[in-house]
Structure 1
Amino acid sequence: MPALANSTLGQLPAPIIVPTYDRAAIRPGIAHMSVGNFHRAHQAVYLDRVLAMPGNAEWGILGIGIMDDARERAKADALHAQDGLYTLTECPADAPDTVRVIGSIVDYLHAPDDRAATIRRLADPAIRIVSMTVTEGGYYVDEAGQFQLDHPTIAEDLARDVPHTVFGLLTEALRLRRDGGVGPFTILSCDNLPHNGHVARTAFLSWARARDAALADWIAAHVTFPCTMVDRITPAVRDADIARLDAASGVDDRAPVFCEDFIQWVVEDSFCAGRPPLEAAGVLFTKDVAPYEQVKLRMLNASHSMLGLPGVLMGYRVVSDIMRDPDVIELLERYLGFDAEPLLTAPPGMELHEYGALLLRRFRNQAISDQLLRIASDSASKLPVFVKDTATGTLARGGNPVRIAFLLACFAEYLRGTDDSGAAYTVAEPHLTPDDLALAGDADPGRALGMSVFAGWGLEDHPAFVALFVRLRRAIRADGVRPTLRAIIAQPG
């Protein structure tokens, strides 16, 4: 089995699709911060398509890892050993898998090894776009739209000579570019956030202003922050997945990725230093990303939460298993049809009912079954983004909030760390404080609605909703999630 590298591309098994362009001629014009599986299955794929077109050699990717942990170091080591190459297995629901080698990441830095050198590299005039996937909770912008300058992570970083956060690294690189007369780069958020470009602009300008007001003014005047919507289901890759994927491909790849065959990227066309011809690779450019992002966040991502939190409590651990459960399917269909769709305006050419049906077909794809614990993790960051607008809109219009109350009750119960059969699991909620967890565990079930995750939802202004939430939490504790769910879907509407 050949080890993946530039020198072995010609030795790979015949069905594998390999780059057709000369990677030695490719130069990085885009830096990507936090190179996770999703970036490698999404943005890097589009750039791989661009590089296969003549005249685009300046649009390779410089990957930059920003976390300092064993997993990130292992990824850096793997990508260095493999010349930035990796296999991507695309898994249709009803056709054979396709394996391709993605070649668009032509250089990789692990920033904790030398953050000052990373800043200097970002100041290279060849870098014209810096994209990022730092998760929904990685922007430190609160419910009121204020950057959390007093957060310990941010306050500590502002005091450093050489910062560690993505905000500090990019701000200091922009300082060098300004001082050197190089000009700005575009900062392109690719995270699942409403108006993610606006959120990124708030975060970066706030960090910069706390450090150097004049620099913040320069960034505000010259740097653009386009909004984007990104979509592709990309599961976590465990050690067993690596062995499985390598055995299927016949390639010794230390960093393989697998995903569904569906892919979508919608981008606001606002790039201060130019951009590659991504429209030729399938990207949709538009003046208004909001309708696309709202549909995706409040239907796809919210449905994932509706799967993940009850599913973990019911003892499910992977999406393919729970998508065989008729009770859960009924819950999802009702949530999409009765709760989410009536509050959304479809983008041109989209039918919301058809979009919802497509989501359920995508979720049923057993080849890309994701881990429910991963989907449920960091729900404190996800629920305000994916569910809040549907919850507040449903209450405002006098709709039936039972499915939303059920989801929030499952979230509060998920925090106990044991499912209905008594099996323990690890709760990953980095953005909940000890006070939040105390509220979730309080003897009064309703006090959980006082957790910081629900700040700004206005749930306390709806006593009937609070009473419903309490009743459902008690039902889950007394009877379990399954009987509680069945009672919900037995109700009309």
Structure 2
Amino acid sequence: MVRLSRATLSRVAPAARPLAEPRATGVVHLGIGAFHRAHQAVYTERAMAATGDDRWGICGASQRSADVADRLRPQDCLYGVRAGDEVRVVGSVRDVLTPCDDLAARLAAPETAVVTLTITEKAYRRDPLPGAIGRLVAGPPTAIGRRAAGPPTAIGRLVAGLRARAAADAGPLTVVSCDNLPGNGATLARLVAELCEPPLLEWVEENVAFPATMVDRIVPATTQADLDDMAARLGVTDLGAVVTEPFTQWVIEDSFAGDRPAWEKAGALLVGDVRPYEHMKLRLLNGGHSAIAYLSGAAHVSEAVGDPAFAGFLRRLMDDDLSPTLDGLDGFDLAGYKETLLARFADPGLRHRVAQIAMDGSQKLPQRLLDPARDRLAGGHEPRWIALAVAGWMRHVTTSRELDDPLADRLRGDGTASAAATVSRLLAIEEVFGADLRESRVFRELVTDCLERLNADGVPAALRALDAS
């Protein structure tokens, strides 16, 4: 079967062809993985189609490998998205850079007006120094974002591009973090500032905006079965295809330095304050995902939610511990959102691997489950369901043969320590738990009790015990 490209696009059914063909590149994206291709790239194409403004083609940049470039460049950067039963080829991506290509030149180009990022939580890595609790860093300023004996970080490459843009006097720029971090815009702005020398920092403060965003769409890793299915549906081979769900949401702080795609014409919501939506998504969707990853024992999310007892646990986690920590959502149908969320989790067509969600838990847990635990404790409540999920994570990191986490060497155990000893050791890792949760007698006892139950009787018995208490 022939490969998807502009030359073979005529083989694709007209209804599945791109909605727009950009004539220029106005957006640079750092971290062009499956999520970006199923989310921001789709919004950008729809915005161009809705307005006829075709200046917003995307240049994607990979940070770690040339894999995406190798998949997309031979296809003229076209790729298919399957959302439920709908399949469409997306044409908003115009080029993909490898880590060896000149990203700074792209960021300095006058036609580039927006930079978006999906570089995952660990790219905003936590400072390992004692006393720097939860502070996020990009790297030492003198190293221009370069980790010791390693390549430049994504944020270091971004700063190098800002330096080139300032030198070229190429005009204002909006930098949009689309990662699952609270206050992602302000966090990114702070990390960029740490790497800027004074003249560059002054230019950034005057010319660059960092709006906060909340992104929501479940995008599992693409499998060979997915690629085979897309080839059958499109009539051409597509090595860049992604599979996602029909649901999609993008909430963006309405704070831009200059021109931008009309994303609101594609369904994005522009607001003055993203935080209520951000907390809702991080805690309910991502927190629910983490609970599934560390407690369910299932291979896929839909299998976990298919168990009525486990689905009941997720409802209690959301209703009793997570929803009470949310505010600023007046008029929003939170109950309906949770029902929709459980239905999305249960979708068997997504095949969302639990192992994928379990990766990098030390970077994800703080904003997903530990921050709401703090809120519950501050209000005088016991976050029992959160404690069970945290205990599940502790059992996972101390017993897994293969642990994919930046702090893996410090997290691992041999599985023989008592629950109390395990909880004490892990709570002492301040980059994850801070000093407050380590010193919280209530939180320590809750997690220890849950871990003892998990170790002794397994998840079903632990769920029953919590439900009965």
Normalised-by-shorter TM-score class: over 0.9
Match of 1:38 in 2: 35
| 8 Å contact from structure 1 (residues 129, 185) kept in 2 | yes
Match of 2:96 in 1: 108
Match of 1:421 in 2: none
**Residue 405 (structure 2) pairs with residue 434 (structure 1):** no
Call closer, same or farther: CA 1:167–1:416 in 2, change over 3 Å. Answer: same
User: What letter is aligned with 2:146?
Assistant: D
| 8 Å contact from structure 1 (residues 130, 186) kept in 2 | yes
Call closer, same or farther: CA 1:249–1:452 in 2, change over 3 Å. Answer: farther
**Residue 45 (structure 2) pairs with residue 48 (structure 1):** yes
Indicate the SS of the match to 2:280. helix
- Aligned-residue sequence identity (percent) comes to 36
Call closer, same or farther: CA 1:415–1:249 in 2, change over 3 Å. Answer: same
Match of 2:312 in 1: 330
Call closer, same or farther: CA 1:380–1:242 in 2, change over 3 Å. Answer: same
**Residue 137 (structure 2) pairs with residue 148 (structure 1):** yes
Match of 2:3 in 1: 3
Instruction: Compute the displacement of 1:364 (Å).
Output: 1.0
Find the aligned partners of 1:123 and 1:244 in 2 and give their Cα distance: 40
Match of 2:159 in 1: 171
User: What letter is aligned with 2:114?
Assistant: I
Instruction: Compute the displacement of 1:154 (Å).
Output: 6.3
Q: CA offsets per residue over residues 414-472 of structure 1, 9 Å max, x none?
A: 01345xxxxx6x32112x15334359875413322222453326223332331232222
- TM-score when normalising by structure 1: 0.88
Indicate the SS of the match to 1:186. strand
**Residue 446 (structure 2) pairs with residue 468 (structure 1):** yes
**Residue 317 (structure 2) pairs with residue 295 (structure 1):** no
RMSD over aligned Cα atoms: 2.4
Match of 2:104 in 1: 119
| 8 Å contact from structure 2 (residues 142, 195) kept in 1 | no
User: What letter is aligned with 2:63?
Assistant: I
Match of 1:94 in 2: none
| 8 Å contact from structure 1 (residues 147, 206) kept in 2 | no
User: What letter is aligned with 1:122?
Assistant: L
Instruction: Compute the displacement of 1:251 (Å).
Output: 2.6
**Residue 468 (structure 2) pairs with residue 490 (structure 1):** yes
Instruction: Compute the displacement of 1:326 (Å).
Output: 1.3
Instruction: Identify which of 324, 333, 355 aligns with 1:342.
Output: 324
Instruction: Compute the displacement of 1:333 (Å).
Output: 0.6
Call closer, same or farther: CA 1:457–1:288 in 2, change over 3 Å. Answer: farther
Indicate the SS of the match to 1:99. strand
Call closer, same or farther: CA 1:159–1:477 in 2, change over 3 Å. Answer: closer
Q: CA offsets per residue over residues 261-295 of structure 1, 9 Å max, x none?
A: 01111101111121111111111111111111111
Indicate the SS of the match to 2:89. strand
Find the aligned partners of 2:356 and 2:143 in 1 and give their Cα distance: 26
Find the aligned partners of 2:299 and 2:182 in 1 and give their Cα distance: 28
Find the aligned partners of 2:134 and 2:301 in 1 and give their Cα distance: 33
Instruction: Identify which of 201, 214, 217 aligns with 2:202.
Output: 217
Find the aligned partners of 2:416 and 2:202 in 1 and give their Cα distance: 46
**Residue 173 (structure 2) pairs with residue 185 (structure 1):** yes
Of residues 58-67 and 213-222 in structure 1, the stretch that sits farther from structure 2 once superposed is 213-222
Instruction: Compute the displacement of 1:241 (Å).
Output: 2.5
Structure 1 gaps, min length 5: 92-96, 419-423
Instruction: Compute the displacement of 1:362 (Å).
Output: 1.1
Match of 2:118 in 1: 133
| 8 Å contact from structure 1 (residues 45, 104) kept in 2 | yes
Instruction: Compute the displacement of 1:57 (Å).
Output: 1.4
Of residues 177-186 and 384-393 in structure 1, the stretch that sits farther from structure 2 once superposed is 177-186
User: What letter is aligned with 1:119?
Assistant: A
| 8 Å contact from structure 2 (residues 124, 138) kept in 1 | no
Indicate the SS of the match to 2:96. strand
Match of 1:412 in 2: 394
| 8 Å contact from structure 1 (residues 2, 11) kept in 2 | no
Structure 2 gaps, min length 5: none
Q: CA offsets per residue over residues 26-84 of structure 1, 9 Å max, x none?
A: 2110000010111011000011112223541111111111113xxxx232111000011
Instruction: Identify which of 450, 454, 475 aligns with 2:432.
Output: 454
Call closer, same or farther: CA 1:150–1:264 in 2, change over 3 Å. Answer: closer
Match of 1:57 in 2: 54
- TM-score when normalising by structure 2: 0.92
Find the aligned partners of 2:92 and 2:154 in 1 and give their Cα distance: 22
| 8 Å contact from structure 1 (residues 231, 263) kept in 2 | yes
Q: Aligned ranges for residues 352-431 of structure 1 at < 5 Å?
A: 352-418=334-400, 426-430=402-406
Call closer, same or farther: CA 1:89–1:405 in 2, change over 3 Å. Answer: same
